[in-house]
A and B are shown apart, each in its own frame.
Chain A
């Protein structure tokens, strides 16, 4: 009998859940430790923290284990967990000038004060399969670490670096953001409306899905409304966070978080004829080490300032901010897996009716 809808849902769901665990564990390798993911799948963890919008490396690593490495699923677990956490403080604005740098480069200036620091990057590696990783042993890892001639000591690097874009700012070549105000909007507490406050825009971008943001940023630089971006500065490092605490007279240091920051220098501002031409700036900042996302965010922040009458997709605030959220888009795209018997029946009813009308129309008259 084909009538499947009556019951059976409960048991099927339980079995499906068991199968998920079975498929994760059926190989005979040792169970993955969350610590291993946290340390050795660093970039995946950072991505999940960013898109899950919670700085919690252990929870993100655990979610990745639970999700069998599916980045969006893991971010979703983190985001749902975060929704149940109390929000006790809002940190004071963090000064990324205070960042303890692990990487810092500029694509716009050859020589920057403090120098370019490559840090941990794969940018200049050939993407060849490293077969030696197949049998990486604890001993070989130890030997590698012992023999490392790069000293990761703090003394080698200065505590802070000047911001590259300050060079332009000092010369008056840079437009100052005009919509910096508007107060702080917490997008988890109120739904955004358009035109959107800058704080809401940056929050939406900061927790957007890397791939979606990259696609939109790519569309802009590839031909749909190019803003001609340059990477003024990309820096990765730890910034200190402070809060105002009722028991303290001074701001209280609550810890440091690893972030990636991108400052995008883009073409002259359109429209404003009153002053001298100036360059414009787009800003990107995200949790952890995620350079593609920070750069994409910087580009999109800038494209969204466009005042063009013929907006490209990446220049349309509503289009960009409504579509970059991985949790929201994945949920809706996946919901087509749910049954749609009722509505499809309704569609069939319309189709048959319009086909009937067409047949009647086509039938020779007088028959």
Chain B
């Protein structure tokens, strides 16, 4: 373990705050999908930049954990680097880019392509915890609707989408029902990642720092994206495209307009998985 920053408690937050967050996490696990309010103290990173996820990670991390931090699927993005720096500075834990090697993965906008295990925890950063925000801006009314499991306005919203556009137009953060009870916003992950939440081996923790809410999808819990019998949920379509770096055609791709010639290319959004595939391909051809 490397020496960590002097003058601050291990993992920045004081022990009482960490204990409170762990209690709220336990409550969230006990009531899958229910948004548990928590105090959410300020961090030295801006509200809305991942402070909910960071607070959960700070509260559950120990000196022997191995941490992976990703943003948009990438370990090297500036936000991922910044968050990793803060966590390393205040804990001294070992970090990794390898999904398989991590005990805790903190992420924004993606669930790794590689299947995660029972002994791992995925912490998601959440900007807007309540999926009902699409149809009800008031927190008070939305809580009542969750309490009564009154999701009719959400269903109507989806139905009207289909009538108006011929499609459900929600791109990321697709509303999903957890354990047949609570509707969650699965954080702004693409629809591509939503099926990974269903009956997974891994514990998923969601932290919204600015909105002061924590919720969870425990392992082996049903997660169903809202869909109609005659209009099924669909993930993003990358048909006919593959990653220009590793050749994968079964991963979530970002389209990139190439420098200079303006030509469009595709690349995996999960960069460390892409690197793995690339290495494997190279070794195969050597």
Residues of A in contact with B (beta carbons under 8 Å apart):
1-3, 5-10, 12-13, 76, 79-80, 82-84, 86, 188-191, 193-194, 318, 322, 327-328, 330-335, 338-350, 353-354, 357-358, 361
Which residue of B76, B140, B236 is within 8 Å of A346 (Cβ)? B236
**B171 contacts A347, C-beta separation under 8 Å:** yes
* Cβ-defined contact, A361 with B166, below 8 A: yes
A191: min CB distance to chain B, Å:
4
- The answer, yes or no, to whether B62 is at the interface (CB within 8 Å) is no
- Please state if B41 and A342 are interface contacts (CB–CB under 8 Å): no
Which one of B43, B46, B171, B267 contacts A349 once the chains associate, using CB atoms below 8 Å? Answer: B171
Q: Cα distance A1–B46 when bound, in Å?
A: 31
Would you call B72 an interface residue if the criterion is a C-beta within 8 Å of the partner chain's C-beta atoms?
yes
Residues of B within 8 A of A341 (CB): 72, 254, 269
Query: Which of these, A6, A322, A331, A357, contacts B49 with CB under 8 Å?
Result: A331
**Assembly CA distance A194 to B138 (angstroms):** 10
Does B188 belong to the interface (CB within 8 Å)? yes
Residues in A neighbouring B43, C-beta threshold 8 A: 80, 83
Residue from A84, A339, A347, A357 in contact with B14 in the complex, judged by beta carbons closer than 8 Å: A84
CA A193 to CA B73, docked complex, whole Å: 35
Q: Is B247 at the interface (CB under 8 A from chain A)?
A: no
Contacts of B166 on A, CB cut-off 8 Å?
354, 357-358, 361
CB distance from B52 to the nearest CB of A (A): 11
Contact A354 B167 (CB under 8 A): yes
Give Cα A342–Cα B189 distance, bound, in whole angstroms.
Answer: 8
- Nearest-neighbor residue (CB-CB) of A316 within chain B: B138
Complex: A357 Cα to B161 Cα, angstroms: 13
Nearest-neighbor residue (CB-CB) of A53 within chain B: B42
B38 CB, nearest partner CB in chain A, Å: 6
Kindly state whether residue B31 has any CB partner on chain A within 8 Å: no
25 residue pairs of the A-B complex, CB under 8 angstroms, read: A2-B258, A5-B76, A8-B76, A13-B82, A13-B85, A83-B41, A86-B14, A189-B39, A191-B37, A327-B42, A328-B210, A331-B49, A334-B46, A335-B49, A339-B77, A339-B79, A340-B109, A341-B269, A342-B188, A342-B269, A345-B255, A345-B269, A349-B236, A349-B237, A354-B165
Residues of A within 8 A of B77 (CB): 5, 9, 339
Q: How far apart are the CA atoms of A190 and B138 in the complex, in Å?
A: 19
Q: How far is the CA of A2 from the CA of B110 in the complex (A)?
A: 21
Interface residue? B40 (CB, 8 A): yes
On chain B, the residues within 8 Å of A339 by CB distance are 71-72, 77, 79
- Expressed in whole angstroms, the minimum distance between the Cβ of A118 and any Cβ of chain B is 38
Indicate with 1 or 0, residue by residue over B243-277, a CB within 8 angstroms of chain A CB atoms.
01100000011111111000001010101000100
